[in-house]
Amino acid sequence: MDLLIKGGTVVTAAGSFPADVAVTGGKITAIGKDLPGTAEQTVDAAGKLVLPGAIDAHTHMQMPFGGTVSADSYKSGTRAAVCGGVTTIFDYPVQHKGETILGLVNSKKEICETDACSDYAFHCCITDLNGGAILDEMEKAVEEGITSFKCFLVYKKEGMMVDDGMLATLLLRAKELGAMINVHAENPDLIDLRTAEYLKEGKTSAWYHYMSRPEFVEAEADKRVVHWASHLDTPVYLVHMADKEGLEACIHAKEEGHEVYVETCPQYLEFTCDVYKRPDGRNFVCSPPMKGEESREALWKALKSGFIDTVATDHCPFQSYEKDWGIHDFTKIPNGCAGVENMYPYMLDAANRGILSFERVVEVCSTNPARIFGCTAKGAVEIGKDADLVIYDPDKDFTISVNNMHSDYDHTIWEGKKLHGYPVQTYLRGKLVYDNGEYVGTPGDGKFVKREPRSV
Ligand code: URP
Ligand code: ZN
Ligand code: ZN
């Protein structure tokens, strides 16, 4: 036995119980009270929770975007990930027009082989069907373990947007292949129209980022996606859900039996659009923007009642000087915020305060993303699964600051946030990679997660 974690409380999506956890060869080999035998390394977890490593199903590492490149490389972003209890990230490489899916993914895999500190998977963002060749290539990608693809319904000027016809084509092709389409839903024409009006009126502060894409702008696109997917009878996954009306459309479709999955992010659970009135409002600029209190409350309600399937971060930080490009023009602010190191601690703090259960946090942050996206070896403290484990101290107080994070960015929207309870150790397939505030792994520890397609 390589590792024995003794005396902790194991948390699964289905329940919590006191048990030891034994690890051999990177896998969980036994779970039970007072496990016999000796291990090379024994860890006392008395008074602590033993959780599955989180899966952050939505990151943008070193992504060219907004006139620059997001501030976390694969190395620093995944280093931060494991320090926040995330043992697998799903990154979103974006296809340039004419590029092949496998060419794109392989170029990212090559970087991750030497740099990744957590395990990694990719959802490939498709922007161009290359005359139909991409529809054929999707089959090969699925064989290689890339079983999800993304459509942006926005970012028209950036050349990333897909229209409804292409969305429908991809939804149907993905279904045929046992794959999933993830969608960023906002209405691009409404955004452009409103943006032009505000700029003409000299309304250029970060507040107008929100005003140019408020609740109904996201809701229209959410509803359109749900409409297409329901009528075409295909599964669909909506990323970073932030508005009540769109969320309600998803809940309605779910209740009717449609396979609609909903992801939200901690920033939409914590903040409202009021942040855009702050002097540093530009630092909170992301798309979709944070919405009003009614939406924030609806997200929490849906999270507690089971209608939100996953929580992920949309981690896409930029440096302060880059955010400052938009001091006098909100359209020049690179869109995105940091979060990969904060998600699990933030959600676990909510559980620690009794807002929702630890089991539910494990479900939305680990078990569900593993199940939805075909990571069969991940997502639970269970015999046979990868020993991606987090030891969590429910009594440790922690205040988030850019100075105690492990990323490469120079500010965080989470600055000053107080948490009760914090991860103290993270194990990646049985290897200790985070220990009481310090990253102790080696870049390159992370491995590509080859995923299983859904049954067709
Ligand atoms: O503002 C955001 N969310 N930036 C990253 C790209 C995206 O839309 O997910
Ligand atoms: Zn997005
Ligand atoms: Zn994103």
The 3 state secondary structure assigned to 40-72 is CEEEECCCCEEEECEEEEEECCCCEECCEECCC
d(CA 146, CA 123): 7
Q: What is the model's pLDDT at position 37?
A: 87
pLDDT at 292: 98
* Closest C-alpha residue for ligand 1 atom 8: 287
What is the structure's pLDDT at 456? 86
Q: Which of 145, 144, 139 is nearest to 174 (CA)?
A: 139
With contact defined as beta carbons under 8 Å apart, do 116 and 143 qualify?
A: no
Ligand 3 centre distance from Cα of residue 113 (Å): 23
Where are the domains positioned within the chain? Answer: 3-51+379-439, 58-75+84-339+362-372
Mutate to test the pocket of ligand 1, among 125, 287, 333 (most ligand atoms within 8 A of CB): 287
Cβ 384 vs Cβ 25: under 8 Å: no
Q: Which amino acid is at 4?
A: L
Full-model pTM: 0.98
Beta carbons within 8 Å of 309's beta carbon, 6+ residues apart: 237, 261, 262, 263, 364, 368, 372
Q: Which protein residues are within 6 Å of ligand 1, measured from CB?
A: 60, 184, 286-287, 314, 316, 335-336
Pick from 370, 395, 372: which is nearest to 381 by CA?
370
Q: Residue 44: how many CB atoms within 10 A of its CB?
A: 12
Distance 59 CA to ligand 3 centre (A): 6
**CB count, 10 Å around CB of 335?**
22
- The number of angstroms, rounded, from the C-alpha of 223 to the middle of its chain's C-alpha atoms is 22
Residue 92 has φ and ψ, to the nearest 5°, of -120, 80
Give the C-alpha separation, 84 to 89, whole Å.
12
Residue 333: name the closest of 152, 212, 153 by CA: 212
By three-state DSSP, how is residue 82 classified? helix
- Among protein residues, the one with the nearest Cα to ligand 1's atom 2 is 336
**CATH annotation of 3-51+379-439:** 2.30.40.10
Answer whether 132's CB lies under 8 Å from 163's CB. no
84 Cβ partners below 8 Å, 6+ apart?
Answer: 54, 340, 341, 342, 343, 344, 345, 423
The residue ranges of the chain whose pLDDT is under 50 are: none
State whether CATH 3.20.20.140 applies to domain 58-75+84-339+362-372: yes
Ligand 1 centroid distance, CA of 287 (Å): 5
**Cis amide leading into 288 (omega within 30):** yes
Kind and range of the H or E element at 317?
none
Tokens 């329940």 found at: 15
